[in-house]
C-alpha cells in the first residue's frame, strides 16, 4: 500500500464557519502537517480521517473539504467526529469502481516471484484520490490557503493460502489487515458432501483411501467487485512447502485425473474435489499427514474469464513434470497403513507335506522292486546251475 499526503499551503485566512473554534482545539490549533491524514484500507471500504483543527486554523471547516471534487453526494461528504481528540473529519466510501466517490482504479501486472514464480501475470489494484479544500472566494485572485490530501491503497490480487492440515475439518486464514490486504476475507474448508453442507471431520486414524474430499475457498465480507480464482492447489508433506515433497492437484489448466474442478472464477467462492491419497514416503507411519495449499487469485469480474483461458500466456507447469520420485497416483490420505510382512498359506503347507509323503512312498516301492528283481535273477541262476549238475550225474 502506498499512502502519501501532499499538503500545499500558500497563505492563511479565515473562511466559513465551523461547529468547532480554535479555542476548542487547544495546542492542536496549528499549521497543517503531513501526518494529519490517516488512511484505513479495508476489504469493503476505504476510510479517511483528517485532523480538523489544522483545517480550522487554515480557515476552512469540514463542509469545505471535498472528496475528488464531489459536492452533491451526501455519501461522499465528511462527518465531523468530536468523540476523539484531536477531532477529525471522516470519509468512508466503498471499494467499487462505479460508486467509490470518484476514486481512480488502476490495475497493474508484473511477473510473479517466490511462490508465484510459476505465473507471469500477478496483478495489483491501486485505488487513489484526493481530498482538497474548496475556496468560496470569487474574483481574479485569492489569499486563501489550498489544502490537498492525497490517499492511495494498493491491494495485491494474488495470495497463497497454506498450512491447512488435512486432518482438521477446516482452517481460517485470518491475518491483520496490513497494506490493504484481502487475505483476511479468505477461508478454506473441507467438506464430505458435494453440496458443501457437512464439514469433513477426519477421524484419528485418517480417512479411507479414495474418499472424495470437497474443498471450498470462499471470500466473505469483501467488495463484490472481485471473484475468487484458484491458480494452483497442491499438497506437501511439510507445512512449509518450499523444501518438501509435493503433489500438484492442479496448476492452471493442468488438472490431475482424480481431481475435479467444480467452480472457479465465477463468484466469490471456488470449489473442487479430489480423491484421498497418501505420500509413499510416509508408508511406515500409521497416519499419513500432509498439508493442502492453494494459490488464490482475486480477479475483477470482467477479467476472470481471461485468466481461465488456457492460452492466456501464463506459464503453466505440466502436472506430470512436477511429480517427485516415489510418488504414485493418488490412493490414500491420512489413513492407517497396516501391512503384513509376509504371507502365510496353511493349504500350501499341507500340499507340500502330502507331496513329500508321496515321494517317500514312491522311493520305497522302487527299492523293494529292485530287491525282488535281484533275488529273482539269483534264484534263476542257481536253478540252472543245479539242473546242469544233476544232468551230468545221471
Place of cell 499551503: 9
Claim to verify: residue 151 and residue 176 sit in the same structural domain: no
Claim to verify: residue 173 and residue 151 sit in the same structural domain: no
Which domain CATH number covers 204? 2.60.40.4100
Please give the residue range of the domain that contains residue 218. 158-322
Claim to verify: residue 137 and residue 237 sit in the same structural domain: no
Cell of 377: 535273477
Claim to verify: residue 163 and residue 150 sit in the same structural domain: no
Strand partners, 189: 170, 216
Claim to verify: residue 152 and residue 162 sit in the same structural domain: no
| Position 332 in a domain | no
Pairing of strands 79-81, 65-67: unpaired
Which domain CATH number covers 46? 2.60.40.3210
| Position 109 in a domain | yes
Claim to verify: residue 94 and residue 229 sit in the same structural domain: no
Q: Rounded distance, CA 176 to CA 178, Å?
A: 6
Claim to verify: residue 115 and residue 162 sit in the same structural domain: no
| Position 275 in a domain | yes
Claim to verify: residue 232 and residue 254 sit in the same structural domain: yes
Claim to verify: residue 172 and residue 205 sit in the same structural domain: yes
Claim to verify: residue 77 and residue 210 sit in the same structural domain: no
Note down pLDDT in tens along the chain; length 394 residues.
333 333 333 333 333 334 688 888 888 888 888 889 999 999 999 999 999 998 888 888 899 999 999 988 999 999 999 999 899 999 999 998 888 999 999 999 998 888 888 888 889 999 999 999 888 877 766 666 788 999 999 999 998 887 766 653 334 444 444 468 888 899 988 999 999 999 988 888 788 888 899 999 999 999 999 999 999 999 888 877 677 788 999 998 899 999 999 999 999 999 999 988 888 887 777 778 888 888 899 998 888 888 887 754 444 433 333 333 322 222 222 222 222 223 334 443 444 445 555 666 666 666 677 777 777 777 777 777 777 777 666 5
| Position 80 in a domain | yes
What's the number of domains the chain is made of?
Answer: 2
Task: Name the 3-class secondary structure at 130.
Answer: strand
| Position 385 in a domain | no
Task: Name the 3-class secondary structure at 347.
Answer: helix
Claim to verify: residue 300 and residue 204 sit in the same structural domain: yes
Distance of CA 125 to the CA centre of its chain: 20
Amino acid at each position: 500500500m502506498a499512502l502519501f499526503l501532499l499538503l500545499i499551503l500558500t497563505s492563511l485566512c479565515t473562511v466559513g464557519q465551523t461547529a468547532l473554534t480554535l479555542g476548542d482545539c487547544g495546542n492542536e490549533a496549528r499549521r497543517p502537517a503531513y501526518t494529519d491524514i490517516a488512511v484505513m484500507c479495508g476489504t469493503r471500504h476505504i476510510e479517511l480521517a483528517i485532523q480538523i483543527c489544522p483545517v480550522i486554523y487554515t480557515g476552512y471547516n469540514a463542509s469545505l473539504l471535498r472528496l475528488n471534487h464531489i459536492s452533491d453526494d451526501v455519501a461522499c461528504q465528511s462527518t465531523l467526529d468530536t468523540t476523539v481528540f484531536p477531532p477529525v473529519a471522516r470519509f468512508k466510501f466503498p471499494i467499487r469502481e462505479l460508486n467509490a466517490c470518484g476514486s481512480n482504479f488502476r490495475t497493474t501486472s508484473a511477473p510473479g516471484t517466490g511462490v508465484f514464480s510459476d505465473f507471469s501475470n500477478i496483478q495489483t489494484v491501486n485505488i487513489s484520490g484526493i481530498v482538497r479544500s474548496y475556496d468560496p472566494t470569487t474574483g481574479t485572485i485569492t489569499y486563501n490557503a489550498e489544502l490537498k490530501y492525497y490517499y492511495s491503497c494498493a491491494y495485491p490480487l494474488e495470495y497463497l493460502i497454506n498450512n491447512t492440515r488435512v486432518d482438521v475439518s477446516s482452517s481460517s486464514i485470518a491475518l491483520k489487515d496490513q497494506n490493504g490486504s484481502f487475505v483476511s476475507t479468505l477461508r478454506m474448508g473441507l467438506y464430505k458432501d458435494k453440496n458443501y453442507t457437512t464439514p469433513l471431520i477426519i477421524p484419528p486414524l485418517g480417512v479411507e483411501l479414495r474418499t472424495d474430499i470437497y474443498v471450498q475457498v470462499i471470500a466473505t465480507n469483501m467488495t463484490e467487485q472481485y471473484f475468487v480464482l484458484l491458480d494452483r492447489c497442491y499438497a506437501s508433506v511439510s507445512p512449509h512447502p518450499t523444501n518438501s515433497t509435493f503433489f500438484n492437484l492442479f496448476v492452471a489448466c493442468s488438472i490431475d485425473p482424480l481431481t475435479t474442478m467444480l467452480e472457479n472464477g465465477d463468484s466469490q467462492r471456488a470449489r473442487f474435489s479430489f480423491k484421498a491419497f497418501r505420500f509413499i514416503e510416509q508408508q511406515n507411519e500409521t497416519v499419513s499427514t500432509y498439508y493442502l495449499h492453494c494459490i488464490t487469485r482475486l480477479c475483477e469480474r470482467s477479467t476472470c474469464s481471461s485468466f481461465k483461458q488456457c492460452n492466456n500466456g501464463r506459464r503453466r507447469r505440466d502436472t506430470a513434470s512436477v511429480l517427485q520420485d516415489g510418488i504414485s497416483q493418488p490412493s490414500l490420505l491420512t489413513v492407517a497403513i497396516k501391512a503384513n510382512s509376509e504371507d502365510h498359506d496353511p493349504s500350501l503347507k499341507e500340499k507340500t507335506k502330502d507331496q513329500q509323503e508321496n515321494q517317500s512312498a514312491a522311493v520305497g516301492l522302487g527299492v523293494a522292486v529292485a530287491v525282488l528283481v535281484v533275488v529273482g535273477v539269483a534264484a534263476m541262476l542257481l536253478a540252472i546251475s543245479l539242473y546242469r549238475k544233476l544232468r551230468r550225474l545221471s
